[in-house]
Structure 1
Amino acid sequence: MSIDIDPLCDAPGLTVTDHIENTQFELYADRPVTPRPSPVDDHYFPVDASVTVETGSIEIPRIAVVETRSSDGTLLARGDDLAMPDGEYHLGINPAPTKLYTHFESGFSVTTTDRTTRIDLEEVTDVTLGFRSLHQRPAGTITTPTDPESLMDAVSLLGSALQTTSPERSFPTLRGHPPLIEPGDRLRVPDRIERPESGVRIVVPPTYRDLYPVVPLAYYFAAEVVPGSAARIEGDGWSHSLEPDVERRAAEVLRQSFHFDCIARTEGFYPVDLHEREMTAADLDWAALYEAPLAERLGTYLEVPFAGIEPELPQWTLTTDVRPDPDNVESLPFVAGELSIVRSPETATPAESGPGGGVGFLRAPEPGPGTLVRGGTDAGTAAADGSDLRGADAGEADPRGADAPGDRGTALGSTGFVRPEPVETVEHAWVGDGVPLDANKATLDAYRRRLETGTVEQSRISVLVVCNDEQMREEGKVSELYGLRDMVQFDIEVRHDLTRAEMREALASDVDFLHYVGHVDDRGMQCTDDYLDLTQEDLRVNVSAFLLNACQSYEQGEALIHRGGRGGIVTLSDVANSPATKLGRIVARLMNSGFNLRTALHVAKRELLTGHQYIVVGDGATTICQSRSGIAAVIDIESNGSELDFTMSAYPNGPYGVGTMYSPTIENVSTNYSVPTDAKIHGISSEQLTSLLQLETVPVFYDGELHWSDELLPL
């Protein structure tokens, strides 16, 4: 079973461990409880595990919204402060690290404090608790020839994963993971994979360059994809052109239709106050659109000129460049599942080599004395704008690391670097040959490891900090930044001065996150007795995520992915020790707070120009835990006289993907938002903000400088 439910040892209640998603949380009762297995069909919504306990209350240590439904699923009430008379109820509690449902017969009330949500029953009774992992798996694998026209038949089946064609499929839990695709001599489709009849058809010329950008649309619209001379989307009685720029027009259709679906779904099971509905310039009959078939609804959406509603659309999270190559077809279901905007560049601009062995804006300055870098040289390194970092941000008076040979510092030549076109999204991934500057180098191996769900024996999340250079031990203190959260259990180990054999053993251990601090050059990772070259050695790697905070660690990090890792952060050039230490600490706290690798690096880049010397390899969506609130949130605060202007930026994260609904817990604020829309509130008081920041440790940019919420209190 993927979910374990056990009594708490030191308090009345339960510990719930989801071994698939590496999450753990606690439920409290008003008396000691012994969970008894119960049928999963006792719940209105599907669950993976169900138990029954006798109790007079249920409490979870987070602020949550409780949805109250009758026995037939009708929504009766929704909120964090409510009371219901005697009756039979099914409750959904959101957010929680798993889907959490309760079923009981009793009147009850819901109350919240600044940290907890409590459900008090009118009498002690049997309460059935259901839990469903938020992990999603594809229903099977489609085999297909990889020429563009044949591939269209397989792409047309990606929408089989949708659990509904209603606007509610804008919720991530109702989309499902698309079936996988693998090359073969003919089309083979498992019996359980069947595309729902959506009435939508996408016509594109039979080229990879035209097909790849519409793959997310084929998935989200459950559309049939067919060859034709002019790119367009068709429904019954309408047609919408994707000419002359398929990439741009497909991105516009995805953003516009998804935005409108989030608004239309407020006419269904979730009639909430939604910011996007209040602010839209579109004058549409949302009630009629909610009831309309998908194709009719989409046709009405696309009658609204994109230019008229573009200002209200949130910044989309992810763009993925998928090179127009048949070798990349197996990555398409993963890219579609993220609802990424897709571009398919035919050419990749090589990054030019420059003085000092650097590349483009990563070019290092001429060697100078007195700057410790994390590779084989003691040269300074360059900021994103090409300036020397050997000043207040990077300079060390002592030539620490000078024992590393000065002629072995180049671990990656410039020939493999490519410079993708800039993106307008928060994150950027690259699928194909080449090492992309300032983008996530995604790989099929890493994507596939999202789906691995082998038995996990430990319920605690393991973090290993390895420091193989005594002059860099300041960053070893990052271990103090893990394990701060009371919702997740961390096992943290700090090891110094490992030998080759010890490093091999560490890489083979079941570690959720490896934070390596030390030297890397073309010989590999420095150990006390020699260098361990991950590109040459046959290693067993069980590390899931990692940060190789060392000079030019790209090739070693890529080798970790090929040998078993899922995702990591690496460097493309020499990095000076002081900013590298600062970035390492930022990333440590972000990963501890539930951010994925791509978003963690995005936030770090806002604080440090040197962040542009780092990229993500493998699966950039990798996390080691979930945040308390589910989504990954960054808060911006600007002083405005005696009041404050507040912005919460919400990022898709694991099961809390694009379309997740959230609301900042601020007094007198009840509006909901859909990820990735930013919540912007002008003129809040310091008291209101203090109450919010006490709920969870989150990154806060206060007047443009990065802080952490626990460091700012009291305001």
Structure 2
Amino acid sequence: MTLSPRFESAPGATGVDVVDPVETRHFPLATDAPVDPTPVDPGRFAFPVDAACRVSVGRLGLPYMLPVDVRTPEGDPIASVDSPATRELPAGDYLVELHSPIKVYLRTEGPVRVEATPEGVAFEFGETTAVDVGARSYHSAPAATVTVPDDPAAAMAAVSTFASALKTTSPERAWPTLRGHPPAVERGDELAVPDGLDAPETGITLRVPADYGHVYAVAPLAYYLGATVEPGETARITAGSGVDRRLGDDPTAVADAVAGLLKRVFFLDCATRTEGLYPDDLREREVLAARADIDFAGLYDADTADRLAAYLAVPDDAVAAAASPWHRVAYVRPDADALGLLPALVNDLSLIRPKASAADAADAADGAVDDRLDGALDSFLRGPRASAGRASAERTGGERGSDGRAGTAGDDLLRSVRSPADDASAAGVPDVGEYVSLPETDALERAWVGDGTPIRGTKLVAEAFARETPEPSDGTVDVTVVCNDEAMREEWDSVGEIYGSREDLPVDVTARVGVPTGELRALLAGDCDVFHFVGHIDGRGFQCPDGVLDAADVGETNATTALLNGCRSHDQGVELVRAGASAAVVSLSDLFNSGAVEVGETLARLLHHGFGVGAAMRIVRDHTSIGNRYVVVGDPGVTVAYCESGLPIIHRVAERGDGRFDVTPYSYPTRVRGMGTNVRPYLQESDCYHVGVGPCGEKSTDPRALQVSFVGDSQPLIVDDELVWSDEWFDR
């Protein structure tokens, strides 16, 4: 099966389905009559496409409202349609760009009527017209591999190749689709850089002391700026335009300086690129222009080094007003073991902060883990305990008390089969000294690279990133739900319905109860996008009617994302990632059933809505009763389903007391729609876009208008710090 997008039409049926077999994405195009797509030259499109076809139609429709850019055949902008409106285009030759889950372009001639409504977008051609359809996958993978010995100076040479993946050094690089994946890095006996990995000639250099902490800290900035990294006595950034700035005296200070520089350059690029391919009204540009005298047109055309110098001259308060929280901060143990994960971190444009060790990060204090893992978890981690012991002392998924915490367990079922006689191998979770406490940050997500497991955030596992190009699929989201305890069927019943609830998304749900070890092994080996397990787990494995299945003995799994909703599932999740999964949501303690059901249902809804695993887990951790007992291991950027609106958004709703609400949309970048994606929340009643990370403006609205904006689409809301879904909230 080819990895390129393909075009499918059912015999006798209308429409054509654009399928991305790598990212498991569908995008249907409705037509007024049956069509037979015929291949055409992808070179007909000004922008790169992987495959193209021709259909003859009088009308072509999109399944929901999404932004549309009309361009000349050369790609120059003519008009944008991104809200309910009708646009009449005279006779001419047009290239139409669709901001859909798969990148799709249309080429057509003649007059075109574009009608956008909340239900979708329609193109009327007046008569049967030939329309060329081009498609490109958003998937990005390393084009080559750099071999590096265990030498920080060699690591500098590897980082200097990362910018070879940039498709431009203009401000357009702020678009995620114009930043390719850096080359992979593997450890070897000597430095080997394949041909063709030359960094762009920007005249920008980063000089840092030759140790891993400094090299890792500057890696994302070197990639984004197209800078070379060289050894130096002190950390500095220099450019041919006269830039010469000291970055700090130690890796921590350098990481702080790099974070500030990267945010400054990135958000100024986002504002400046409005002079180019996408002349959108951008809120960040308005904020900057109100606080500083900036020649955006001149900056767009400036040399890279000159543009950097001009960016550094913009007042700090103007940049701070325009910038949003970053999407992810990765804390990295500064040694050679982290080299293999460096390209993946840079590809996501994560900020990188060196952290000495797990022991240092966890403060090595008996109470540190206890304080952060919900009080009683420290006692869980220190040794075996009876399943029923101290149940009343544990926080559960019951009613919340006055402090916002859940009430006591009472007779709530405990998802544990451990007893005091079990040996340490049955614990299923790290020892107390192996936990890592990551510093608080305003970033949407946190991650850890190194030995140990973070108390909050994601444990990045190298094997999760080693499979950059998955096997092609038919575009259907395959979900497997297994329940191995009849007493836990509530979650099994509900998540099966949740995963199959989207009409626009082809989903195949396989649901099983009481699965024996042999069948469970087969289900894990089969291809599925989500494997959701409900039942008993410990360090020995998954409890089955006929025994225990240890993930370490599975050999291979083709489940992309595993949600292991049983007690102490950490070690089993790590083994599944090593066996082939890209990410696993795992627990760090014993779980009471009601709280686990809440977490399982919430995660299923968020993943199915389009949130990445890491972002979904952050929301669950903050807004469910026992969410802080779970972490992600593997790749936090994995997504299960695409989001119709492009970026998944959660709306924070605050009652004003006058019958109205203040609503703030928060957007979360994904691997496909990464840092630099623009978003315009439809609640805003404005043509102004926002850079899609964190808060996207605030609007005051009345209940009726708020409800109308979510008709036909259940959206996640945060109301009075409670996570609810719009359809349920409006029914209260």
Q: Tell me if TM exceeds 0.5.
A: yes
1:245-260 mapped onto 2 (5 Å cutoff)? 245-260=253-268
**Does structure 1 residue 263 correspond to structure 2 residue 271?**
yes
Give the deviation of 1:354 after TM superposition: 5.9
More helix by share: 2
The 2-side partners of 1:172 and 1:707 are apart by: 31
Corresponding position of 1:651: 668
Distance verdict in 2 for CA 1:651–1:391, change over 3 Å? closer
In structure 2, the CA distance between the partners of 1:367 and 1:319, relative to structure 1 (3 Å rule), is closer
Partner Cα separation in structure 1 for residue 584 and residue 378 of structure 2? 29
Rounded to whole Å, the distance in 2 between the matches of 1:381 and 1:604 is: 23
Report the residue type matching 1:169 in the other structure: R
Match of 1:664 in 2: 681
Tell me: CA distance 1:367–1:417, structure 2 relative to 1, closer, same or farther (3 Å): closer
Aligned equivalent of 1:149: 153
Aligned length: 704
Which deviates more from structure 2 when the two are superposed, residues 19-28 or residues 606-615?
606-615
Report the residue type matching 1:303 in the other structure.
Answer: A
1:210 pairs, out of 210, 214, 217, with 214
Which 10-residue stretch deviates more, 213-222 or 69-78?
A: 69-78
Q: Is the 8 A contact 1:375 1:550 kept in 2?
A: no
TM superposition shift of 1:492: 0.6
1:107 matched residue in structure 2 = 111
What is the distance in 1 between the residues matched to 2:167 and 2:379? 59
- 2:215 aligned counterpart, secondary structure: helix
Partner AA of 2:226 in structure 1 = A
Unaligned 5+ residue runs, structure 2? Answer: 401-405
Contact 1:394 1:576 in 2 (8 A): no
Asked if the contact 2:586–2:632 (Cα under 8 Å) also holds between the matched residues in 1, the reply is yes
CA contact (8 A) 1:521 1:553 kept: yes
Within the candidate set 571, 592, 596, 1:576 is matched to 592
- Alignment-derived partner of residue 342 in structure 2: 332
Q: Are 1:427 and 2:442 an aligned pair?
A: no
Provide the C-alpha distance between the structure 1 equivalents of 2:428 and 2:386, rounded to a whole number of angstroms: 9
More displaced, 172-181 or 410-419? 410-419
Tell me the TM-score normalised to structure 2 length: 0.91
User: Where does residue 623 of structure 2 map in the other structure?
Assistant: 607
How many Å separate the matches in 2 of 1:102 and 1:16? Answer: 12
> Residue 695 and residue 11 in structure 1: after superposition, are their counterparts in 2 closer, same or farther (change >3 A)?
farther
Among 687, 692, 696, the alignment partner of 1:675 is 692
- Supply the distance in 1 between the matched residues of 2:396 and 2:65 (Cα, whole angstroms): 46
1:474 partner SS:
helix
Number of the residue aligned with 1:43: 45
Alpha carbons of structure 1 residues 494 and 396: separation in structure 2 relative to 1, 3 Å: farther
- CA deviations on 1:192-251 (whole Å, 9 max, x unpaired) are 322111111111111111111100001101101111111111111121221141011111
Equivalences for residues 512-591 of structure 1 within 5 A: 512-535=529-552, 537-591=553-607
What are the equivalent positions in structure 2 for 1:376-391 lying under 5 Å apart? 377-379=387-389
Work out whether 1:708 is the aligned partner of 2:708: no
Whether 1:239 aligns to 2:251 is: no
Pair 360,711 (structure 1): closer, same or farther in 2 beyond 3 Å: closer
TM-score (norm 1): 0.94
CA contact (8 A) 2:457 2:618 kept: no
Superposition pairs of residues 457-496 of structure 1, within 5 angstroms: 458-476=474-492, 477-496=494-513
Output the amino acid matched with 1:276: E
The reply to whether residue 224 of structure 1 matches residue 228 of structure 2 is yes
CA distance, structure 1, for counterparts of residue 277 and residue 379 of structure 2: 64
The answer as to 2:311 corresponding to 1:294 is no
2: CA distance, partners of 1:165 / 1:189 = 22
- Separation (CA, whole Å) in 2 of partners of 1:287 and 1:714: 50
Residue 272 of structure 1 is matched in structure 2 by 280
Cα deviation for residue 11 of structure 1 reads 4.6
Measured after TM superposition, the shift of residue 565 of structure 1 is: 0.8
CA distance in 1, matches of 2:610, 2:167: 27
161, 164, 169: which one aligns with 1:160: 164
Structure 2 residue aligned with 1:185, among 182, 185, 189?
189
Q: Which AA in structure 1 matches 2:97? A: G
Q: Over residues 500-548 of structure 1, what are the superposed CA-to-partner deviations in whole Å (9 max), with x where a residue is unaligned?
A: 111111111111101111111232111111121223x252211110111
Which residue of structure 1 aligns with residue 22 of structure 2? 20
Residues 603/388 of structure 1: CA separation in 2 closer, same or farther (3 Å cut): closer
Query: 2:403 — aligned with what?
Result: none
Deviation per residue, 1:374-429 (Å, 9 max, x gap): 9971345799xx96777664655547469935224732232322222222311001
Are the equivalent residues in 2 in contact too, given 1:25–1:488 (CA < 8 A)?
no
Q: 2:707 aligns with which of 683, 687, 690?
A: 690
Superposition deviation, residue 493 in structure 1: 1.5
Deviation at 1:353, TM superposition (A): 7.9
**Shift in Å at residue 118 of structure 1?**
0.7
Q: Could you say what the CA RMSD is over the residues aligned between the two structures, in angstroms?
A: 2.5
Task: Give the 5 Å matches for 1:313-392.
Answer: 313-348=323-358, 349=360, 350=362, 361-364=373-376, 377-379=387-389
Whether 1:406 aligns to 2:416 is no
Q: Which position in structure 1 is the counterpart of 2:63?
A: 61
The one-letter amino acid paired with 2:344 is F
Structure 1 residues 468 and 39, CA gap change in structure 2 (3 angstroms) = same
Paired residue for 1:436?
454
- Measure, in 2, the Cα distance between the counterparts of 1:323 and 1:44: 44
The answer for the alignment partner of 1:173 in structure 2 is 177
CA distance, structure 1, for counterparts of residue 479 and residue 352 of structure 2: 34
Q: Cα 1:380–1:16, aligned 2, differ >3 Å: closer, same or farther?
A: farther
**Quick one: distance in 2 between partners of 1:711 and 1:10?**
39
